[in-house]
Amino acid sequence: MTEKQLTQLGWIATVTSCLMYISYIPQISNNLNGQPGNFLQPLVAAINCTLWVTYGLKKEKKDWPLAMANAPGIIFGLITFITAIR
């Protein structure tokens, strides 16, 4: 695979990863409407994403697709966790 193809693959993976975390919105809505879901998976996802974002940004050559793919997981994971336990 060429460097250009790897870059394109990285950004496609970034978009699909963001969509995966945005899919927490229905669970957040259910949580807020009195039908709470499991809190553990989104909490672990938020922790995992925090580690990956930190890793991607701390590398000498920042790995932007990796960091950007996991950033929504921190936000949506924490919102889902908080709304599930309240």
What DSSP assignment string belongs to 65-83? HHHHHHHHHHHHHHHHHHH
> How many structural domains are present in the chain?
1
29 is a domain residue: yes
Please provide the size of the chain in residues: 86
Question: The CATH number of the domain where 14 resides is what?
Answer: 1.20.1280
Residues 21-49 pLDDT 10s: 999 999 999 999 999 999 999 999 999 99
Structure-token pair, residue 1: 């695979």
What is the predicted pLDDT for the residue at 61?
Answer: 95
Structure-token pair, residue 46: 């938020």
80 is a domain residue: yes
Taking the alpha carbons at both ends of the chain, their separation in whole angstroms is 47
73 is a domain residue: yes
Q: What is the pTM of this model?
A: 0.86
Contact in structure between 81 and 39 (CB atoms under 8 Å): yes
Which amino acid does the sequence have at 50? T
Can you give the residue range of the structural domain that contains 43?
Answer: 10-85
